[in-house]
Structure 1
Amino acid sequence: MFTGIVEEIGLVLSIKDVDKSKVIKIKCKKVIEDIDIGDSICTNGVCLTATKLGKDYFIADVMMESLKLSNISKLKEGDSVNLERALSVNGRLNGHIVSGHIDGMGTIIGAENHGNSTVIKVECSNELLQYMVCKGSVTLDGTSLTISSLKENYFEVSIIPHTKDESIIFKKNIGQAINIECDMLLKYIKRLMDFSTYKSNENNITLNLLKENGFI
């Protein structure tokens, strides 16, 4: 579990193809200070398991599903990535609940300066947009952001200077792919709403019954 607050920008040292997967080596410092082999590191929003740790790097395997859904497959040596360690039990949840399981990718289609902030426009499928609400949360390349505007085929987020300095979002160009993880709570709500009727062994639980008893 993560918060979407980027701790460090890492550098891709190498990325190799290995039997329908990839092995990635990332240079970093802060995120490996207190972790062990087998711990999770959120990399551009993708939860990866550290399989080897060095003095200033970690190595992780990237499975086919992650390659299919994320821009990890597009990374190359010398690229920058957002990094975050898993949330500790006594940590503050400064962003929102992030699983590190990417729902899909969007495309950056615009960027406009608005005084002290910059508005980024991201185009994506309706399948992803259905899990978004204006002023709700979304994770882009592992960064927790607030949706400032929601349109028919894209959404906007406002980037403050601190986020600009501490993440890679401004290293991306118009037309580049960006990883998207939608709000986990909205995904659960949508899943629940899709079940208009649920049959248990003894009772029929309907949508109206759940509403009447305060579950939704």
Structure 2
Amino acid sequence: MFTGIIREVGRVNSVFRSGSSFQISLRAKTVTEGLRRGDSIAVNGVCLTVVDFDKNNFSADVTPETLRHTNLEKLTPGDPVNLEPSVGPEDLFDGHIVTGHIDDVGEYIGYSEEKNSRVVEIEYPSSLEPYLVKKGSIAVNGISLTLADIKENSFTVSLIPESWRATTFAEIRPGAQVNLESDIIGKYVVSTVEKFLAGNKEAEDEMDADGLSRDVLKKNNFI
């Protein structure tokens, strides 16, 4: 489990592809301290298992399923990545609960300046709509962020200067893919609501067509 508080920005050393197998080697300084083979590290929000490491580097295997739903396959040597080790029982719990299991990728549209923050806009796939709640949590490339505004196809989040400086947002450009993980608590809520609506023919027909949309929730007095 992770919290979405990035420990450091690492760099891609190399990527190795052979058929459907994929291994990534990363350069890091902080997250390798006390590291053990088999430990979990979130790379751009993706939970990966360390298979090899030394003082300033570590490697991890990536499954085809993970490649299909994340931006890891787009990485090339030199690219920056957000890194966070898994939470231990002695660690403070900041951010929010992040599993490291990415829902889908979105697209970084750009940002605007607002006083002492940058308002970032992200385009998201329709499959995430039921899990997005204003002032709720979302992990973008592993960063724990609060949803400021939600539009039909995009949402905004605000980053303070420290979050901008200490993550890959300082380097990525508009059009880049970003990994998105919605709040696990929201997923359980949606699952519960879907079970509650089971047997409601009108609601089921609408969910078959559009998923658990805001319209369905409004019609059934959930919001």
TM-score (norm: length of structure 2): 0.86
Query: Take 1:123 and 1:56, find their aligned partners in 2: how far apart are those partners?
Result: 34
Q: Structure 1 stretch 189-198 or stretch 57-66: which is displaced more?
A: 189-198
Q: Deviations over 1:33-84 (max 9, x none)?
A: 0120000000000000000011210010011111110000100001010000
Q: Structure 1 stretch 4-13 or stretch 18-27: which is displaced more?
A: 18-27
Residues 1:151 and 2:151 are matched in the alignment? yes
SS at match of 2:36: coil
CA shift at 1:191, angstroms? 1.0
Alignment of 1:96-175 (within 5 A): 96-175=96-175
Query: Take 1:112 and 1:129, find their aligned partners in 2: how far apart are those partners?
Result: 23
Percent identical pairs in the alignment equals: 40
Q: Deviations over 1:126-173 (max 9, x none)?
A: 211220111111000010011111111110000100101110012111
Query: Take 1:83 and 1:38, find their aligned partners in 2: how far apart are those partners?
Result: 16
CA shift at 1:178, angstroms? 0.4
Query: Take 1:130 and 1:66, find their aligned partners in 2: how far apart are those partners?
Result: 22
Query: Take 2:90 and 2:176, find their aligned partners in 1: how far apart are those partners?
Result: 36
SS at match of 2:131: coil
Instruction: Give the match for residue 22 of structure 1.
Output: 22
Q: Structure 1 stretch 179-188 or stretch 14-23: which is displaced more?
A: 14-23
Query: Take 2:175 and 2:30, find their aligned partners in 1: how far apart are those partners?
Result: 31
Unaligned runs of 5+ in 1: 199-216
Unaligned runs of 5+ in 2: 199-223
> After TM superposition, which residue ranges in structure 1, 4 or more long, deviate above 6 angstroms?
none
Query: Take 1:193 and 1:144, find their aligned partners in 2: how far apart are those partners?
Result: 25
Instruction: Give the match for residue 78 of structure 1.
Output: 78
Please say if residues 4 and 84 of structure 2, whose CA atoms lie closer than 8 Å, have aligned partners that are also in contact: yes
Query: Take 1:4 and 1:69, find their aligned partners in 2: how far apart are those partners?
Result: 19
Query: Take 2:170 and 2:182, find their aligned partners in 1: how far apart are those partners?
Result: 21
TM-score (norm: length of structure 1): 0.89
SS at match of 2:24: strand
Instruction: Give the match for residue 190 of structure 1.
Output: 190
1:13 aligned partner, one-letter code: N
CA shift at 1:197, angstroms? 7.3
Q: Deviations over 1:14-37 (max 9, x none)?
A: 001033121100000110101200
Residues 1:6 and 2:32 are matched in the alignment? no
Aligned residues, how many?
198
Instruction: Give the match for residue 209 of structure 1.
Output: none
Please say if residues 33 and 55 of structure 2, whose CA atoms lie closer than 8 Å, have aligned partners that are also in contact: no
Query: Take 1:78 and 1:90, find their aligned partners in 2: how far apart are those partners?
Result: 33
2:99 aligned partner, one-letter code: S
SS at match of 2:31: helix
SS at match of 1:30: coil
Query: Take 1:79 and 1:69, find their aligned partners in 2: how far apart are those partners?
Result: 19
CA-atom RMSD, angstroms? 1.1
